[in-house]
Amino acid sequence: MISELQDNGVTTSCDIAIAGGGIVGVTLAAILKNSGLKVIIVEAKPLEVAAARTQAYAFSLLSSRIYEGIGIWKEIIPHIGKFKRIRLSDSDFPQIVKFETADLNTDYLGYVAQHNVVLTALQKYITDCDNIHWLCPGEVTDVVYQDDAAQVAVKVKGQKRYLKAKLVIGADGARSHIRSLAKITTRGWKYWQSCIAFTIKHTAAENDTAFERFWATGPMGVLPLPGNRCQIVWTNPHERAKKLQALEEKEFIKELEYYTQGSLGNLTLASDRVIFPVQLMQCDRYIKSRLALIGDAAHCCHPVGGQGLNLGIRDAATLAQILIKAHNQGQDIGSLPVLKEYETWRKQENLAILGFTDFLDRFFSNSWLPIVIIRRLGLWLMSNLQPLKIFALKLMTGLKGKTPKLAQNN
């Protein structure tokens, strides 16, 4: 059974209060296991409900190495998709950029994991851990930041509870209540597009290739899952996305077969079609005294290239490394000098990926002839210039930029 916090009075003291028990928040807690820091996770949903989602995500090589460093990758890898090849193409243009494992001398180029597989493994890892506790289902209602601590008001089963924490972590998603309470402003925009996410079954002989195919209406990502299934994230203008979602299954499959160019054989739907709008967002700051934001609470990007969750996992690994070092050196983990190291490291790297995904979407979701000619020349160059190809592949797999120590030996 996962350790739950018992009421020991009006206020409970801890080192770190994490608002949000999703993958990013619990990844941070898992890295802090046995760190000597007392951690409390506040999650709005019951744990089994939080872990029940079947949405799948691309996991980069760097993310896999972070989970190896934590010690749970062996629990995850038997249940997820793995790809040895990536195919990047522009609608019906015959030049396809082909990335192979030989380009990086790795066994795989990436992975595809369903939400429930990863979060269940993380929850299991911190079960009965002496320094990690849950308030679940619980909701942070207010935070008062003071010089030496933050006072956190939490509603648990209709009762008010109070936490005194040296540091509050906002890991509560793109609509972060923690960010709102702290009055941290954001910059960015909503795209003219929505994504349709769903799972299919197919009859292709092989199921170890990830596809990113660009169309004038938006990119389509196809990610392999176990059992000859694929997770597809298909970007379209809002109204077209709604029409595609509403199509009868037979008509929808007919459209899908055209846009996958017959590469997957016969297709059948294996899940509902979920539609969501996409946005780019970057916080003006990731930190304040006694506060740090991670994951979607700090930044959001277009799903092209499958970067979003991976950025949050890197945030968690980076922040944990900095907090453990500060704690071991007797520093105040909630102080601005400590937290500034995290913001300096992650904000610029995240901004680079946000810019990269925005460029890809705008540059390829375009039928203006001069742009089409330029981008197809770019694909040709990437196919034929190995250094450019390797640079792009390392960027996609998380191997560009500063690597957290947890992942360096894996």
Least confident of 6-15, 54-63, 125-134, 319-328: 6-15
- Is the C-alpha dihedral spanning 42, 45, 51, 54 positive or negative? negative
CB neighbour class for 160 (10 Å; exposed up to 12, middle 13-18, buried from 19): exposed
- Strands 11-19 and 159-170 turn out to be parallel
Alpha-carbon span 156 to 139, nearest angstrom:
7
User: What are the pLDDT digits (tens) for 9-52?
Assistant: 468 999 999 999 999 999 999 999 999 999 999 999 999 999 99
Q: Closest Cα partner for 200 from 138, 116, 265?
A: 265
Alpha-carbon span 161 to 5, nearest angstrom:
11
**Which domains does the chain show, CATH number per domain?**
11-187+279-408 (3.50.50.60), 191-274 (3.30.9.10)
Alpha-carbon span 373 to 90, nearest angstrom:
11
Alpha-carbon span 348 to 298, nearest angstrom:
12
Q: Closest Cα partner for 297 from 193, 402, 181?
A: 181
Ordered alpha helix ranges (H), 126-260: 177-181, 238-246, 249-259
Alpha-carbon span 40 to 13, nearest angstrom:
9
Residue 8 pLDDT greater than 80, yes or no? no
Q: How large a percentage of the chain has pLDDT more than 90?
A: 88
Report the length, in residues, of the chain.
410
User: What are the pLDDT digits (tens) for 364-396?
Assistant: 988 888 998 999 998 999 999 999 999 999 999
- Is the C-alpha dihedral spanning 65, 68, 70, 72 positive or negative? positive
Contact criterion met (CB below 8 Å) for 69 and 407: yes
Q: The whole model's pTM is what?
A: 0.94
- Strands 209-215 and 274-283 turn out to be unpaired
- Is the C-alpha dihedral spanning 303, 306, 312, 314 positive or negative? negative
